[in-house]
Amino acid sequence: MNETRGNVWVFGGLCLLALLCVVSKTTQFYGFALNDYDTGIYSNVAWNLANGQGFHSDVLGGSHLAVHFSPLTAIFAPFYTLFPTPMVLMIGQGLAVGITLILLYRIGTHLLDRSAFGARRPWILLGFCLLAFVYGPFTNALLSHFHPPTVAMPILAGCLLALIERRMWLLIVLVPLLIAAKENAPLAVIGLGIYAALVQDRWSTGSILAAIGLASLAVIVLVIMPAFQDTDWVLADRLAPFALLGKKTLYVFLLVLPLAFLPLLGWRAAMAALPLITVNLAVGYEAQLDLKYHYNDLISVFLLVAAMHGLNRLVGLHRAFLIPKARPAHALALAVVLALLLNKGRTPITDLVKHWPTPEHWALHHELAPYRKAPPDQAILAQSGLGPYVSSRDRYVMLRSTWDEEDLLPGDLILLSDLAGDYLINIEATRAKLDALDRVESIERSELLTIYRVRDEKDERRTTLITDP
């Protein structure tokens, strides 16, 4: 009876962590914590996919496949036919990370030694899920803007589970979905091959997976993406393997420190993360070495599984060298504390509190409602902090610091708000510049939202493009 009650509490705790992942993303939406880089980009692409315009990005001004290979975004297109809002992406991202936690628990039931942990094993596994919940590389992938590789985290966890449970049919289904997440996702497939070879001693399976990863990487980078590019790949200039060597050393150290170095004890499993880590080490782009962003989403799944292997190894050391029996649980508790401290206390809970919508946020949503419902062919220009909320249309333009009067066309609507963030333009300076233009008129001005319209003297019928809700 006590064991059953304990399992109920563990299950409830796991479901609570998963639910918090979803709720934290919905509060980001309602609290105006989104912007065009990158949630607005993918929201606009999902809308274009739902409306037969392929992977065109109005934010980027071309095919999104020229910058990132992310066909996985298409799974959201059917939902955008009914609900053309970035809330679809937020819920999808939250569910993906929550499901990953559940899959990590399932993986742990296979990896953690039942005889060593006994009745404490479900609680140890829940502790691992809590560790993931506060581990910077994992939780910051959730709390960053929408990116398809974050949605692929449960796909990667499912691939690992398929390897562990020897379900090759499931692996065959999931690997193509994983590859479709991003141009670097084939490196995760190579990582799966490393895991199969080094951890499971399945060298033939590992070789096949590695070959699939290498072949798909070559096809994506050398064939598919260049077909959509008019010039060199815009991200190619980030390549700088010998730059920022000190930060790169610190980056690797901080990947394993919050896990109490457990992945080093399970080094064979940790080697599966090496191909993806190498990509981050090959660039000179500082943000890619900062754990507060999304660049370690798939890496974190590999390292958390490696930490489980490491904890098993720690138990083995206990048996061999008579280390005190409570040490594995202490190591896990230490990892949770280290992860919290090194991530500066940021978790889905603290983000939920930070972005909890105020009455002003709700009022701004109300004022934006008629413009979100404007005809899809109505051109809207907006600051990046408003973009995700109004970019589900044919003609959306993100205002940049380089905008000029010549960029404004008759009938264009321009939206500005001090409540929504922006790092590309100065909102006050932009408002003053628009007020000074004779061909631009202010059609709505409140404490929260300013709407401008570019006059069209040749067509007076377009003077009223938006009606009150």
Q: Which residue, among 74, 93, 82, 76, has the nearest Cα to 34 in the 3D structure?
A: 93
Note whether 287 and 195 are within 8 A (CB): no
CA atoms within 13 A on the CB side of 362: 4
pLDDT per position as a tens digit, 94-130: 999 999 999 999 999 999 888 778 788 888 999 999 9
Cα(302)–Cα(297) distance, rounded to whole angstroms? 9
- What was the pLDDT predicted at 6? 63
How far from 8 is each of 14, 21, 120, CA to CA, in Å?
10, 20, 14
* Residues 6 or more apart in contact with residue 305 via CB below 8 angstroms: 104, 107, 111, 160, 269, 272
Residue by residue, pLDDT tens for the chain (469 residues) are 455 566 888 899 999 999 999 999 999 999 999 999 889 999 999 999 999 999 999 888 899 999 999 999 999 999 999 999 999 999 999 999 999 999 999 999 999 888 778 788 888 999 999 999 999 999 999 999 999 999 999 999 999 999 999 999 999 999 999 999 999 999 999 999 999 999 999 999 999 999 999 999 999 999 999 999 888 777 878 888 888 999 999 999 999 999 999 999 999 999 999 999 999 999 988 989 999 999 999 999 999 999 999 998 887 766 555 455 546 777 888 899 999 999 999 999 999 999 999 999 999 999 999 998 888 889 999 999 999 999 888 889 899 888 888 888 899 999 999 999 887 889 999 999 999 998 999 998 999 999 999 997 654 444 444 444 3
Residues 156, 178 contacting (CB under 8 angstroms): yes
Q: Read off the pTM.
A: 0.92
Domain borders along the chain are 2-353, 359-463
Q: How far apart are CA 458 and CA 144, in angstroms?
A: 45
Between helix 359-372 and helix 2-30 the angle, nearest 10°, is 60
* Dist CA 409 CA 296 (whole Å): 41
